[in-house]
A = this chain, B = another copy of it.
């Protein structure tokens, strides 16, 4: 995978040089290629073994190169959050895309239809009959047929239909349209993906599955063919196939893992099936206060303020890294620990991978101690 050097930022000249991982200009995103490959294979193998499709969520990485690796490992296609992300993924060669958020502006309907007209296999979601009408009009204008899933709320009260009757009304409207095809359901339980206890997460997942099966029955009773039920997250990946309600899983964060998912018991065995693959690298830029040093990564370089970044390799037992202001972070040292040197650098496991990736333009891909490539985050900020 090669890209134009000029677009790859101030670390481009380090690609392929021995020991270059240690020399990266900071703050930057570092991606461990081997951990990434293992994570992609683990999820793909698990889904293949359980005969459920995997449609990884591209909002986690926003990167065409990673999407291509997921497809190569067996993914059925990709999920994206926005029309702009779908456009970026299509430009990168990913041609089977589900846009998981609803959208409402004329410009967005036309752009989605235009992607379908360019040959993308495009799925969108809807939770409102008016949205269906507008999408139908745009599809007619572009001369395409778009497959639509009814988006079902599982209790988050954010998006989706909130009753089986509403689901049927939306499905009826899709079926009655001239240029849309009813494709099934999306049911994404965002609010339970981080429930700390495995048993409670399973209980909550089963309650969601009951809702899904009720809505599915109502849709079938109304004469609709529910071919596809798309949902699930990294937090429930290992329990979702057993629920018997999903045909495909939308997990995203598993490619990188992060502090929040790394602390969860994902498989009821606490076996940490996914390794931390993504790091923010920072450097020490100040040492004038005892018991701490100042680094060049702050709120602008980490997201998720409630969760602290974790060290890949601790400078001292008990050291804590805390984003302190927009541009600065503080490493607080335990009593008596020597200060790291000026210029010393540290890789921090990201607190929450999705919004952190969204802050950067590039992944610095490393294998051992070497920078082996730089991958653009093409869909960053695409709306």
A23 on the interface (CB 8 Å rule)?
yes
Q: Among B26, B101, B127, B324, point to the contact of A288 (Cβ < 8 A).
A: B127
Cβ < 8 Å to B, chain A residues 98-135: 101-108, 111, 127-128, 130-131, 134
Residue interface bits A38-61, CB-to-B below 8 A is 1, else 0: 000000000000000000000100
Q: How far is the CB of A303 from chain B (nearest CB, A)?
A: 7
Residue interface bits A310-354, CB-to-B below 8 A is 1, else 0: 000000000000001111101000000000001101000000001
Whether B355 and A324, one on each chain, are in contact in the complex, defined by CB atoms closer than 8 angstroms, is no
B residues near A303, Cβ cutoff 8 Å? 299
Question: In the assembly, what is the distance between CA of A9 and CA of B202, in Å?
Answer: 42
Which of A139-147, A153-161, A236-244 is near enough to bind chain B?
A: A153-161
Whether B102 and A286, one on each chain, are in contact in the complex, defined by CB atoms closer than 8 angstroms, is yes
Q: How far is the CB of A376 from chain B (nearest CB, A)?
A: 12
Whether B355 and A358, one on each chain, are in contact in the complex, defined by CB atoms closer than 8 angstroms, is no
A257 on the interface (CB 8 Å rule)?
no
B residues near A28, Cβ cutoff 8 Å? 383
Residue interface bits A278-310, CB-to-B below 8 A is 1, else 0: 000001111111001010100110010100000
Residue of B nearest to A60 (CB): B326
- Interface residues of A: mostly helix, strand, loop or mixed? loop
Residue of B nearest to A361 (CB): B381
A33 on the interface (CB 8 Å rule)?
no
A190 on the interface (CB 8 Å rule)?
yes
Whether A162 and B101, one on each chain, are in contact in the complex, defined by CB atoms closer than 8 angstroms, is no
- Oligomeric state, in copies: 2
Q: Among B84, B158, B328, B342, point to the contact of A101 (Cβ < 8 A).
A: B328
A359 on the interface (CB 8 Å rule)?
yes
Whether B326 and A158, one on each chain, are in contact in the complex, defined by CB atoms closer than 8 angstroms, is no
Question: In the assembly, what is the distance between CA of A235 and CA of B281, in Å?
Answer: 32
A81 on the interface (CB 8 Å rule)?
yes
Question: In the assembly, what is the distance between CA of A27 and CA of B223, in Å?
Answer: 37
Whether A157 and B289, one on each chain, are in contact in the complex, defined by CB atoms closer than 8 angstroms, is yes
Instruction: Write 22 A-B pairs (CB below 8 A) sorted by A numbering.
Output: A9-B383, A10-B84, A25-B107, A25-B108, A25-B383, A26-B105, A27-B383, A81-B326, A81-B327, A82-B296, A101-B327, A101-B328, A104-B283, A130-B342, A131-B342, A158-B286, A158-B325, A300-B355, A326-B355, A358-B359, A359-B381, A361-B381
The 6 closest A-B CB pairs, nearest first, are: A104-B343, A25-B107, A102-B285, A159-B286, A157-B289, A162-B288
